[in-house]
């Protein structure tokens, strides 16, 4: 027997159905801005871009780069067990990166917009036996369409910030109706689990954060060696995953540090690589000799400021620099993931706005693998000290690496919790 829906959910479904032409227009606007792949636009309307293999199929969904990378080890484990995995995401960047790292037999598609007809078309073609959504993906039409087809739905690596909790709390009937349709919610932390339970999720467990079990981003050893040769003997630091407002700070920090370290190299890897041209102009306006990775330019001896505006190369730059500032944290964006640079042996610096990864940063700070800074002036002072104290930098890097290693295990816990549903779906198919 289907559970009744609150009025707001009915209104949402009718509104999204009525706004289907508007959704198509929004997709076209996003394509013009470079936010959609023009060759694969139909996938966003639920039209398949690949053939469906025969047999059991698991649908795993992550919204963007961070979510898809965190579930990659789970995808690999399921594929090794003979399960065909369909992976969906919603961004061009995530599609480009995941295409390089998917195991044989796994398929990537862009997730359909949450319009009833788009979602029905998608599910009628792919016919998943089980669906696993990562972190905080709660899309009403997708959830209801899966329930209609009796497909078990599990939230993995579940995360619900205090801000999201307060927002969902304003519509308690809606969120309870949606969360009650999940067969299981596996939270990253006890805090996330408690918030999910308070909102009405009936079956909640704590598995930990899958990001701790994700392998560090790869890099071609030949490229690493070539760039290491170029920057040898220079103090180097990376400002990673920066957001608008932070690049101006990074430029000012470079100018301040260059008074003491004349051969300093600053590498900026923006959260959105398409902003590379704008960032280069900011640096050039401050008379910094600037080069851009996307143009094929190199961080030669004559370059002060290197804009790493390409996709999938963070692993390369983390291997070059002993010091990494993780962005989205000096401006109120909630911070970006510090686990990857910590795994690759970098000392981590971050601003105060890290609520998206609060427990990760707290663990790194406690272990001495990361240092919080209040503002750009403090960041400059800390960088100046660490550049001159290589022993302390190495000690921080070791502490950070050990801290993230000790926090692993979420992958095994998630697999143990998910396996009964996978086996059950296989038995139902037979």
Statement to judge: residues 319 and 273 lie in one domain: yes
Question: What does the block give as tokens for 422?
Answer: 């996978």
Confidence of residue 163 (pLDDT cuts 50, 70, 90): confident
pTM: predicted TM-score of the whole model, two decimal places: 0.85
Say if residue 422 is in the same domain as residue 374. no
> What is the C-alpha to C-alpha distance for residues 259 and 223, in angstroms, rounded to an integer?
30
Q: From the candidates 36, 43, 50, 67, which is the catalytic residue?
A: 67
Please state, in angstroms and rounded to a whole number, the distance separating the CA atoms of residues 354 and 349.
Answer: 11
Alpha helices in 210-357 (DSSP H): 221-231, 246-257, 276-285, 314-318, 339-343
Contact between 276 and 178 under an 8 Å Cβ cutoff? The reply is: no
pLDDT of residue 2: 64
For residue 215, is it within any domain? no
Q: Is 321 inside any structural domain?
A: yes
Greater confidence, 134 or 312? Answer: 134
d(CA 86, CA 52): 9
Strand duo 184-187 + 236-242: pairing: unpaired
Q: Which residue has the tokens 């971050």?
A: 350
State how far the Cα of 379 lies from the Cα of 330, in Å rounded to an integer.
10
Domain that includes residue 173, residue range: 7-208+409-429
pLDDT higher than threshold 60 for residue 39: yes
DSSP state of 64: S
Q: Based on the domain organization, do 233 and 274 belong to the same domain? A: yes
> Is 319 found in the same domain as 185?
no
At 316-366, the pLDDT tens digits run 999 999 999 999 999 999 999 999 999 999 999 999 999 988 889 999 999
For 106-131, the pLDDT digits (tens) are 999 999 999 999 999 999 999 999 99
For residues 83 and 118, membership in a common domain is answered with yes
Give me the mean pLDDT over the 259-277 stretch. 96
CATH number for the domain including 226? 3.40.50.2000
How confident is residue 423, by pLDDT bands cut at 50, 70 and 90?
A: confident
Q: How confident is the model over 197-211, as pLDDT tens digits?
A: 999 999 999 999 999
Please confirm, yes or no, whether 248 is among the known catalytic residues. Answer: no
Looking at the fold, whether 248 and 291 belong to one and the same domain comes out as: yes
CB count within 10 Å of CB 16 equals: 21
Indicate if 153 and 34 belong to the same structural domain.
yes
More confident residue, 142 or 162: 142
Tell me the pLDDT tens digit for each residue of 7-18: 999 999 999 999
Residues 245 and 169 in one domain: no
């Amino acid at each position: 027997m289907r559970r009744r829906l609150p009025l707001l959910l009915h209104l949402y479904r009718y509104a999204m159905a009525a706004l289907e032409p508007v959704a198509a227009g929004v997709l076209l606007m996003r394509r013009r801005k470079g936010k959609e792949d023009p060759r694969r636009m139909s996938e966003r309307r639920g039209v398949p871009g690949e053939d469906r293999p025969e047999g059991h199929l698991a649908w795993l969904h992550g919204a963007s780069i961070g979510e898809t990378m965190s579930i990659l080890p789970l995808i690999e484990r399921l594929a090794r067990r003979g399960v065909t995995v369909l992976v969906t995401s919603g961004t061009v960047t995530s599609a480009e990166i995941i295409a390089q790292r998917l195991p044989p037999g796994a398929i990537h598609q862009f997730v359909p917009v949450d319009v009833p007809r788009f979602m029905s078309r998608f599910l009628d073609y792919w016919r998943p036996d089980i669906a696993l959504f990562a972190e905080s993906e709660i899309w009403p039409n997708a959830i209801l369409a899966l329930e209609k087809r009796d497909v078990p739905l599990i939230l993995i690596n579940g995360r619900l910030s205090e801000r999201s909790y307060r927002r969902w709390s304003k519509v308690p009937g809606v969120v309870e109706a949606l969360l009650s349709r999940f067969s299981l919610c596996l939270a990253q932390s006890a805090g996330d689990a408690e918030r999910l339970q308070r909102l009405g999720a009936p079956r909640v467990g704590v598995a930990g954060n899958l990001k701790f079990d994700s392998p560090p981003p790869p890099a071609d050893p030949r490229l690493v060696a070539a760039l290491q040769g170029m920057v040898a003997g220079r103090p180097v630091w990376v400002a990673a995953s920066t957001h608008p407002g932070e690049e101006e700070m990074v430029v000012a920090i470079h100018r301040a540090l260059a008074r003491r370290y004349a051969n300093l190299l600053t590498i900026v890897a923006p959260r959105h690589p398409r902003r590379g041209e704008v960032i280069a102009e900011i640096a050039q306006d401050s008379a910094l000799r600037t080069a851009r990775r996307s143009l094929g330019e190199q961080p030669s001896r004559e370059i002060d400021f290197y804009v790493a505006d390409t996709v999938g190369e963070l692993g390369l730059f983390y291997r070059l620099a002993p010091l990494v500032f993780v962005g989205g944290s000096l401006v109120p964006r909630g911070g970006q993931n510090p686990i990857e640079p910590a795994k690759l042996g970098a000392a981590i610096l971050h601003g105060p706005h890290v609520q998206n990864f609060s427990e990760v940063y707290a663990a790194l700070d406690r272990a001495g693998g990361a240092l919080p800074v209040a503002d750009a002036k403090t960041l400059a002072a800390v960088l100046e000290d660490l550049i001159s104290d290589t022993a302390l930098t190495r000690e921080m890097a070791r502490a950070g690496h050990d801290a993230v290693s000790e926090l692993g295990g979420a992958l095994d816990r998630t697999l143990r919790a998910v396996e009964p549903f996978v086996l059950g779906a296989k038995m139902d198919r037979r």
